[in-house]
Structures are given as structure tokens and as C-alpha cells.
Amino acid sequence: MSGSGKGILKGLGITLKHFIETYTVDRKEGKNRYFTEEGILSRRTPDTKGVFTVQYPEEKAPLPEAFRYIPFLVYDVGEDGNRDIRCTSCGICAKVCPPQCIWITRRTDEETGKPMKEPSQFMIDVDICMNCGLCAEYCPFEAIRMDHDYEIANVDRMKHHIFDLEKLLKPASYYKAIRPVQVEREEAEKREKEAKKEAARAAAAAAKAKKDAENNS
């Protein structure tokens, strides 16, 4: 029968259940629910009961891997410990950026004056950035990626929020730590590409050998 208000009662019942469970679970588990490693982990599961507050500065809500905030630049650590910046300053990210918040200057060789494949300046105005992730999506060198760090509020926009190369550069190990699944996928794609290339090369070599054999006979 419609109009009997059953639906409302059912909905309110769910709210009431949450309300009661908030107390019963808190009484049962006590303070272990907050501030302890197990408590935070148990609250991450989908079958958590009751409502709770994330006690923000002490504990932080878990971030999904695909969470994106401000972009950062990935660098590999070379064998002799120096930074090997992946960015080649091709400028694709600056072109696709919808709010146009990326500025890149290409480095030129001091002796020959020829442009080099690395940036001398890379700036992102994080107060313009809209966290869309298009730069990371389009980057062909896996050089620019979206960060998880959201604690960057500050008092002066011009002094603190125009991120330069030093502020943007983060090691590849950090990238792997925050986005393990994505790194795994990218590496698998790279391996597949390599394998395809290798197969094509082998096939070409075989065809050539066959042709040579036919010509000789």
C-alpha cells in the first residue's frame, strides 16, 4: 500500500540503527577504536558499524590510490646519486593544462647554445591548478604525476604557492609508494611494448635471412 509512510519509517530506522550502533560499538571497543593502528584499520573496512569522526591532525582518512591533488615531477636517482629528471620539457603538459598554470623554460647548452632535453625552469601556480590530472594523462615520459599531499595551505600566495622545480621534484620511489598499482601497470605496458618491438625485429631479421637464402640459391 502506497502512502502508508512505510518507506519513511524504514529510512529513519537505518538512521536510528547507525545512531545506536555509534554508542554500542564505542562502548564495546572503548578507546581502541581511535588513535590505534588496529582501530583505524578496522574502520577502513566497509562493514564498519556506527558513525565516527576522523580525528584529523592525529589520524588521517585513507586516500584512494587515484586521489589527485597538485602535480609533481618525477626524477630517477642515478648510479652516482645525482638526479635524473624525467621531464624533457616538451611542453605538452603546459599546452593541455585547462587553466594554464604550468610554465616551462627549456635549458640550452651553455657552450653550443643548442636546446637540451631538460627544463631549466618549471613552475606551477598551485592556486590556479584545478587537479584535473590532464598533464599526467598526456605526459609521454611519465615525468609529471599527481601528488597525494594536500597539506600545502599557506599564508602568502606569491611566496609559497608558485611551486618551482625544487619544490616539484620528487623521487621515483615516492611515486611508487603512493601509486603502486599505476606504476605496476605502466611497467607492464612498457614491457609489452619492448616485447612487441623485439618480436618485430626478430621477424624482420628472419625475413631478411630467408630472402638472402633465396637469392643465393
Residue 185's contacts (CB-CB under 8 Å, 6 or more residues apart) are: none
The single-letter DSSP state of residue 128 is T
Could you say whether residue 55 binds other proteins (CB under 8 A)? Answer: yes
Give the C-alpha distances (Å, rounded to integers) separating 153 from 127, 137, 156: 10, 25, 9
Could you say whether residue 48 binds other proteins (CB under 8 A)? Answer: no
Could you say whether residue 46 binds other proteins (CB under 8 A)? Answer: no
Residue with Cβ nearer other proteins (149 or 187):
149
Could you say whether residue 26 binds other proteins (CB under 8 A)? Answer: no
Could you say whether residue 21 binds other proteins (CB under 8 A)? Answer: no
Residue type, 22: T
Residue with Cβ nearer other proteins (126 or 169):
126
Report helix, strand or coil for 106. strand
Give the C-alpha distances (Å, rounded to integers) separating 51 from 15, 20, 41, 112: 10, 9, 15, 65
Of 57, 81, 113, 140, which one interacts with other proteins (CB under 8 A)? Answer: 57
Residues in binding contact with other proteins, number by CB under 8 A: 32
Of 7, 11, 98, 180, which one interacts with other proteins (CB under 8 A)? Answer: 98
Of 3, 46, 56, 79, which one interacts with other proteins (CB under 8 A)? Answer: 56
Q: Show the site string, 116-145: x = touches other proteins by CB under 8 A, - = not.
A: ---------xxxxxxxx-------------
Cβ atoms < 10 Å from Cβ of 51: 13
- Residues lying near other proteins in the complex (CB under 8 A) are found at 51-57, 60-61, 69-70, 98-100, 125-132, 150-157, 160-161
